[in-house]
Chain A
Amino acid sequence: MNGLIQDIRYALRQLRKNPGFTAVAVTTLALGIGANTAIFTVVNALLLKMLPVTSPQRLIAVGDPTNVNAESSGTPQTDIFSYPLYKELRDSNSVFSGLCAAASDHHIEVETGEEQSANESVTGRMASGNYFNVLGVQPAAGRLFSSSDDRDENANPVVVLGYDYWQRKFAGSSSVIGKDVRLNGFPFTVIGVAPAGFEGDVVGERMALFVPLSMQPEIVRGRHWRNSPHVSWLLLIGRLKPGITPAQAEANLNLVFQQALRGNYGATLTADDMREIRDNRIAVSLGGVGLSDLRGDYRTSLLLLMGIVGLVLLIACVNVANLLFARASRRNREIAIRLAIGANRGRLLRQFLSESILLALLGGGAGSLLAIWGVRLLVGMFGSGTILPLAPDWRVLAFTTGVSVIAGILFGLFPALQTLRVHVSPALKDAGRATAEKSSRFGLGKGLIAGQIALSLLVLFSAGLLLRSLQNLLKQDLGYDRTRLVIARVDAVSAGYTSEKMKQLAEQLVARLRNTPGVRAATYSKNGLFSGSQSAKEIIVPGFNTDNPDDRIATTDNVGPDYFRVVGMHVVAGRGIEARDTETSARVAVVNEAMVKYFFSGQNPVGRQFTIDDPDSRDKPITVVGISHDAKVNSLRDPVKPRIYLPFQQIPDPRQIVLEAQVAGSPSAVVSNVLGQIKATDSHLPIRFVNTLDQLVNDSAASSTALAKLSGFLAGLALLLACVGLYGVMSYTVAGRTREMGVRMALGARRSDVMAMIVREAMLLVAAGLIVGVPLALLGGRVLNSFLFGLKTTDPLSLITVLLLLTTVAVLAGLIPARRAAKVDPMVALRYE
C-alpha cells in the first residue's frame, strides 16, 4: 500500500515535470476515451439502464418489446396483445406475481379549466389497473391507480400525472389532487402523481399522464377495444414469482395461451384467426430495461459505433505509447542508474505502469467532460421528442474507469518493457555516437504506426461505405417528386369520428386544402407517403397459387380521388382512383408494377379480379383498373413491395386520414397554412403531424444518417490521431538524426533530397500500414453489409477515396518533419560533441 502511494506520488511528479508530454497525452486520451464514454452513455441509456422501479431485474416483457406504439386490427397477434388475450394470460399464468398491460402512447387534449391556460396536447398512456403495482412504483403525491380503478368500462375517470408534467403544468402543487381536468373533452379526476424519474415503461418517451385501460373509449372516442379479440394494442410486463426463471415463464405463458385457444378465448375467434395464430409462440425477454422501439432501430448501429470508437481509442493508445517510447529512450540513463544501484525490474515496471494508468485516468476524467458535450451531439440522432435517461450512472463510471485502466496498460506496457531491456553498462558509458548507432531501436514505434494506419484505414473505409450508402439512400428516385408535397396525419378515431363521418371529413379537409394559398392540388389516403403507418393484407389472385398465406401478402393503401396525379406517381396503364369510385360503385383497385410482376407474372392485369382474404371481403371481388409505377412509400431501404390502392370511400373502416397537398413553391412555406386549414375544419381533431414530405423522408433515414455522420466524425478523429502519430514518430526520428542529415548534406545531398528521404520513410510506414489495412478494411466492410445501400462491401470508389485521403494527409503529416530535417545546418557534421 505504501509502495503504491509512493508510485503514485512519483508518477505525479514525472507528469508535472513534463507538462508538454502530459498535455499531449492527456488530450489524446481524452478524445479517445471521451468518444467511448459518450457512445457508451447512449448505449447504457437505451440498452442497459434499468427502469427506476422495484427489483427491475425480476420484470419480464411479454411480446415484442420493440413493437411499442403499434396497434393492429384484424387477425389476432401475439407480439402485441388484445385485451381478452391479456386477461387470459394475466389470470391463468402461474409464474408472475402480477402481469400488467399498457397501450401505445396517445395524444391527449388536456383542458385544465383554468382561464389563462390554453388547451394542450400531451402524450399519455392507458395502463392496466395493476400497472404501478406490478412495476413497484410509489406515488410522489396522492395515490396511483390500482386494479379497483380499472374494473368496468368507462367507470373510472381517474388520471395519474407524470412528475415532469406535474412540475411544468401545475408547478408541483399538491392542490391539483382531486381536481377535475378534461381529457379529450371528458372529465377526469387527478388522483396522484408518479414519482420523479419514472417516465413510464417505454425508454425514450416521457409520459405526461396515465389513465386506466378501462377508459379507452374516452381516450380513443367511439371505439371499443376492450372486448375485441381482433384489436391488438397492448404490451405486457410481468413480475416473476420468486424462483421462477424467464424460460419457465415463457413455457408457462405458451401453455396458458394454448389452453386459452381451446377455451372461451378461442371460441371468440374465427377459423381463419385460429389458423393464423395456432402455431405462434409468445416470446419473453428481460423487461427491467423497459420497452423501446428505438432499441430495434438503433441497437446494431450503436454496437457498430461502439466497435468503431473502440478502434479510435486503440489508435489514440498507439500515439501515447509512441510518446512514451520517445520519452523512454531519453530516460535510458536514469533507468540504467536505477538498475545499477540495485532497483528490481518488477518494481520499476510497476512504477511505469502506475504512471501510464494515472495518465489514462487523467485522460478519462478529461474525456468525461468531452463526453457530456458528445452525448448532446449523439442524442440528435434520435427524433426530437426522444428523452433518454442519459444521466451517467455507476455503469458509465465503471466503463470509463475500466476503459482508462485497460488503455493505460495497453499503451504503457510495451514502452515500459522496452525501457527495462536497457543494458546497464553501455548506457552508462554514454559513448554511443548518434550516427553510428542503428536507429532500429525505434522499430517497434514505427510498427505501431503502421498498425495505426491500418486501423484508421478500416475506420475510414467503414465511414466511407456508410456515407456513400446514405447518399445512395437519400438520392434515389422514389418514383415521385418528394420536394413538392406537404403531408399531414390526423387522428380522427381519437376525436370520435365514425367511419361514415371520417370519409366525409376527408373530403371536407381536401376541399379546404385545395383553396389554400400555395396549394395546387390535394388528396387523402389512409397511409400515404412516409406517414409512419402501413397496412398489408392477404389476397387471393386466381391463377396465383401458394401454400403459405405469407406468400400472398400485399401492402395496401386506401386513397382518395386523384391520388396518383397529386402525389406525382405515374399511372402506366388503365386509370387511377377517381371521384366516381364511391361507396356504392363497383369495387376497383390500382396495383403497382411489383404486384403485376409477382401476382400476375408480368401480364397486364387491367380488367382482372382478385379478393382480399378475410371473412368480410371474400365475396367482394375487386377489379384491377390501373397500374401505377413502382414507388417507395414508407421506407427508403426496403425494396418496393406489391401494393394495392383501393378507393378510400369503398372501405368499411379507414381508421385514419393522411392528407397530401401538392404545392406550387416551397413546401415548408405552406405547412402552417395546411395546419390552419385542418384546425379550421375541426379544432378538436388531434393532428399527429404536418410536415413536408422531404422532411419525413429524411426523418425515416434518421438512424442511417446519424450512423453515417457519427462514423464520419469518428473517422475524422481516427485520421487526425493517426496523422498526429505519424507526425510524432517522424519528428522524433528526425530530431534524433540531425547529425545524419548534416552528414548527408556535407556529402552533397540537396535540401530536396533530404525532404524526399523523410517523406519516403513516412510513406513506407503508410504503405506498410495499407498493406495490412486494405485486407483488414475489406474484411471489416463485411460487418457493414446490412447497413449498406446500393453498393457492395468492397466498393472500389470508397476504397480509392479513403486511400487517397489517408495518403494525402499522411504526406502532409510527414512534410512538416521533413522540412525540419531539410533545415539542418550541414555544419553539424563537423561538430564533435
Chain B
Amino acid sequence: MMQPGDVLIQIEDLTKVFYTDEIETHALSGVHLAVNKGEYVAMSGPSGCGKSTLLSIIGLLDTPTAGRYFLNGKPVENLDFAERARIRNQEIGFIFQSFNLIGDLTVYENVELPLTYRQRMPSAERKKRVMEALERVGMAHRLRHYPSQLSGGQQQRVAVARALAGHPSILLADEPTGNLDSRNGEAVMELLANLHKDGATICMVTHDPRFAKHAQREVHLFDGKVVAEEELKKLMAEVQV
C-alpha cells in the first residue's frame, strides 16, 4: 500500500514533439516532474507553453515522444491503447474546462459512465459509488436532470463527481474554472480543496494565480520546460519587452 508521501507520478526528461505539415512543434522539452500521493499541484504558465500537453500525457490520453513516465512506480509510456484505457478508467479522474458532460445522458448516467467501462462491477456497487460522488459535490438532488438543464457551475460539479466516482489515484483538471464566473469558480475550487483535504491527489492547470494559491505547490511551465518562479517572472518580463 502506498503511504502519503510516496511518489505517484514520476516523469523524467519528457519531450513531446508534434509534427504537422512539416512544422515541428516542441510542446514539451525535457520535463522532470514528480507528484507525491496526496499532493495538490497547480500548473501554470503562458498560453501554448505545454500545460495541456503535459496533463494529457499524465492522463495517458497521449504518449510522449521521448522520456520516461512511471505511474505508481510502473512505466506506462509504451502500453497499448486498451491497457491505457483501463488505467485511465481506474487510476485517473478527468475534469475538463468545458465540463464535457454527455448531453443525451442524465446526471446520474454521466457519473455512472466511467464505472460502466469497468468489467464486472455489480450495479448495486455502481449505484452506491454514484450516489456517494454526487453527494460529495452536492448534486444528489438532480439525478434525473440532463446537463442542458443545469447551470455551468452545476455541470462542473457533476463533472467532478464523475471524476471521483471511479475512486481514481489522481484527479487531473485542465482549467476547471475557465468556463465559470468567479463565484462558481470559487465554489469548484473549494470543492477541490476539500477533496484534497480528504486525501485526494490533484493536478490542476490554471491561469489564475488566485486559484493557484489553493494548491500546495505550483509548477511553472515556460516554452515546454519546468522553470522556477523567479525565472518565469524574468522570462515573462523579457517577452513583454
Bound Cα distance A753, B114 (Å): 12
Question: CB within 8 A of B97: which of A438, A739, A832?
Answer: A832
- Chain B residues 165 to 195 lying within 8 A of chain A, measured CB to CB, are 166, 174-175, 178-179
Any chain B CB within 8 A of the CB of A48? no
Tell me, rounded to whole Å, the shortest Cβ–Cβ distance linking B93 to chain A.
9
Give the number of chain B interface residues (Cβ < 8 Å): 37
Tell me, rounded to whole Å, the shortest Cβ–Cβ distance linking B48 to chain A.
13
- Inter-chain contact B55/A436, CB cutoff 8 Å: no
- Inter-chain contact A747/B174, CB cutoff 8 Å: no
Question: CB within 8 A of B147: which of A436, A826, A832?
Answer: A436
Bound Cα distance A827, B155 (Å): 21
- Inter-chain contact B61/A826, CB cutoff 8 Å: yes
- Asked if A749 meets B103 with Cβ closer than 8 Å, knowing A830-B55, A832-B97, the reply is no
Residues of B within 8 A of A827 (CB): 56, 61-62
Bound Cα distance A744, B89 (Å): 10
Of the stretches B38-46, B79-87, B211-219, the one at the interface is B79-87
Instruction: Report the nearest B residue to A434, measured CB to CB.
Output: B103
Any chain B CB within 8 A of the CB of A454? no
- Inter-chain contact B117/A746, CB cutoff 8 Å: no
Bound Cα distance A179, B64 (Å): 100
The 8 A CB mask of A436-453 against B (1 = contact, 0 = none) is 111110000000000000
Any chain B CB within 8 A of the CB of A751? yes
Any chain B CB within 8 A of the CB of A748? yes
- Inter-chain contact A753/B117, CB cutoff 8 Å: yes
Tell me, rounded to whole Å, the shortest Cβ–Cβ distance linking B165 to chain A.
10
Tell me, rounded to whole Å, the shortest Cβ–Cβ distance linking A190 to chain B.
82
- Inter-chain contact A747/B113, CB cutoff 8 Å: yes
Tell me, rounded to whole Å, the shortest Cβ–Cβ distance linking A441 to chain B.
10
- Inter-chain contact A751/B81, CB cutoff 8 Å: yes
- Inter-chain contact B82/A433, CB cutoff 8 Å: no
Instruction: Report the nearest A residue to B87, measured CB to CB.
Output: A748
Any chain B CB within 8 A of the CB of A659? no
Tell me, rounded to whole Å, the shortest Cβ–Cβ distance linking B67 to chain A.
18
Residues of A within 8 A of B146 (CB): 438
Instruction: Report the nearest A residue to B91, measured CB to CB.
Output: A748
Instruction: Report the nearest B residue to A437, measured CB to CB.
Output: B103
- Chain A residues 819 to 833 lying within 8 A of chain B, measured CB to CB, are 826-827, 829-830, 832
Any chain A CB within 8 A of the CB of B225? no
- Asked if A440 meets B104 with Cβ closer than 8 Å, knowing A745-B85, A747-B162, A748-B86, the reply is yes
Bound Cα distance A466, B202 (Å): 68
The 8 A CB mask of A741-778 against B (1 = contact, 0 = none) is 00111111111110000000000000000000000000
Any chain A CB within 8 A of the CB of B99? yes
Residues of B within 8 A of A832 (CB): 96-98, 175, 178-179
Bound Cα distance A739, B99 (Å): 11
Any chain B CB within 8 A of the CB of A105? no
- Inter-chain contact A750/B104, CB cutoff 8 Å: no
Bound Cα distance A745, B90 (Å): 12
Tell me, rounded to whole Å, the shortest Cβ–Cβ distance linking A265 to chain B.
84
- Inter-chain contact B100/A749, CB cutoff 8 Å: no
Any chain B CB within 8 A of the CB of A167? no
- Inter-chain contact A747/B82, CB cutoff 8 Å: no
Residues of A within 8 A of B99 (CB): 433, 435-436
Instruction: Report the nearest A residue to B175, measured CB to CB.
Output: A832
- Inter-chain contact B148/A829, CB cutoff 8 Å: no
- Chain B residues 133 to 184 lying within 8 A of chain A, measured CB to CB, are 146-148, 155, 162, 166, 174-175, 178-179
- Inter-chain contact B85/A743, CB cutoff 8 Å: no
Instruction: Report the nearest A residue to B93, measured CB to CB.
Output: A747
Instruction: Report the nearest A residue to B147, measured CB to CB.
Output: A436
Instruction: Report the nearest A residue to B86, measured CB to CB.
Output: A748
- Inter-chain contact A436/B103, CB cutoff 8 Å: yes
Any chain A CB within 8 A of the CB of B52? yes
Any chain B CB within 8 A of the CB of A613? no
Bound Cα distance A739, B166 (Å): 21
- Inter-chain contact B103/A438, CB cutoff 8 Å: yes
Residues of B within 8 A of A752 (CB): 82
Any chain B CB within 8 A of the CB of A740? yes
Any chain A CB within 8 A of the CB of B197? no
Tell me, rounded to whole Å, the shortest Cβ–Cβ distance linking B76 to chain A.
14
Residues of A within 8 A of B104 (CB): 438-440
Question: CB within 8 A of A748: which of B55, B88, B147, B175?
Answer: B88
Q: Which of A748, A751, A830 has the most CB of B within 10 A?
A: A748
Bound Cα distance A739, B98 (Å): 11
Q: Which of B62, B85, B147, B162 has the most CB of A within 10 A?
A: B85
Q: Which of A744, A746, A747 has the most CB of B within 10 A?
A: A747
Bound Cα distance A740, B147 (Å): 13
Residues of B within 8 A of A749 (CB): 85, 89, 117
- Chain A residues 416 to 440 lying within 8 A of chain B, measured CB to CB, are 433-440
Question: CB within 8 A of A740: which of B59, B61, B94, B102?
Answer: B102
- Chain A residues 189 to 224 lying within 8 A of chain B, measured CB to CB, are none
- Chain A residues 86 to 142 lying within 8 A of chain B, measured CB to CB, are none
Any chain A CB within 8 A of the CB of B101? yes
Any chain A CB within 8 A of the CB of B233? no
Residues of B within 8 A of A439 (CB): 103-104
Tell me, rounded to whole Å, the shortest Cβ–Cβ distance linking A443 to chain B.
11
- Asked if A829 meets B88 with Cβ closer than 8 Å, knowing A746-B61, A748-B114, the reply is no
- Inter-chain contact A830/B174, CB cutoff 8 Å: yes
- Inter-chain contact A830/B86, CB cutoff 8 Å: no
Bound Cα distance A740, B82 (Å): 18
Bound Cα distance A747, B118 (Å): 10
- Inter-chain contact B102/A829, CB cutoff 8 Å: no
- Inter-chain contact B101/A436, CB cutoff 8 Å: yes
Question: CB within 8 A of B96: which of A437, A750, A829?
Answer: A829
- Inter-chain contact B61/A744, CB cutoff 8 Å: no
- Inter-chain contact A830/B117, CB cutoff 8 Å: no
- Asked if A739 meets B100 with Cβ closer than 8 Å, knowing A751-B81, A830-B174, the reply is yes
Tell me, rounded to whole Å, the shortest Cβ–Cβ distance linking A751 to chain B.
6
Question: CB within 8 A of A436: which of B97, B113, B148, B162?
Answer: B148
- Inter-chain contact A830/B56, CB cutoff 8 Å: yes
Bound Cα distance A827, B18 (Å): 13
Residues of A within 8 A of B94 (CB): 746-747, 829
Bound Cα distance A435, B94 (Å): 16
Residues of B within 8 A of A740 (CB): 102-103
Instruction: Report the nearest B residue to A822, measured CB to CB.
Output: B81
Instruction: Report the nearest A residue to B55, measured CB to CB.
Output: A830
Tell me, rounded to whole Å, the shortest Cβ–Cβ distance linking A831 to chain B.
8
Tell me, rounded to whole Å, the shortest Cβ–Cβ distance linking B71 to chain A.
14
Instruction: Report the nearest A residue to B159, measured CB to CB.
Output: A743
Bound Cα distance A677, B155 (Å): 95
The 8 A CB mask of A262-273 against B (1 = contact, 0 = none) is 000000000000
Residues of A within 8 A of B102 (CB): 435, 740, 743-744
Tell me, rounded to whole Å, the shortest Cβ–Cβ distance linking A151 to chain B.
89
Residues of B within 8 A of A744 (CB): 102, 113, 117
- Inter-chain contact B100/A435, CB cutoff 8 Å: yes
Bound Cα distance A184, B102 (Å): 87
Residues of B within 8 A of A745 (CB): 61, 85, 88
- Inter-chain contact A746/B147, CB cutoff 8 Å: no
Tell me, rounded to whole Å, the shortest Cβ–Cβ distance linking B234 to chain A.
29
Q: Which of B62, B100, B155, B162 has the most CB of A within 10 A?
A: B100
Tell me, rounded to whole Å, the shortest Cβ–Cβ distance linking A729 to chain B.
15
Chain A interface (Cβ < 8 Å from any Cβ of B): 433-440, 739-740, 743-753, 826-827, 829-830, 832
List 15 A–B pairs whose Cβ atoms lie within 8 Å, in order of A's numbering: A436-B99, A436-B103, A436-B147, A436-B148, A437-B148, A739-B100, A746-B94, A747-B113, A748-B89, A748-B166, A751-B81, A827-B56, A830-B174, A832-B98, A832-B178
Chain B interface (Cβ < 8 Å from any Cβ of A): 52, 55-56, 59, 61-62, 81-82, 85-86, 88-90, 94, 96-104, 113-114, 117-118, 146-148, 155, 162, 166, 174-175, 178-179
Closest 5 CB pairs of A and B: A748-B89, A747-B114, A748-B117, A743-B100, A750-B85
User: 10 other contacts beyond A750-B85, A751-B82, with CB at 8 A cut-off?
Assistant: A438-B103, A739-B100, A740-B103, A748-B114, A748-B117, A750-B81, A750-B82, A827-B62, A830-B56, A832-B96
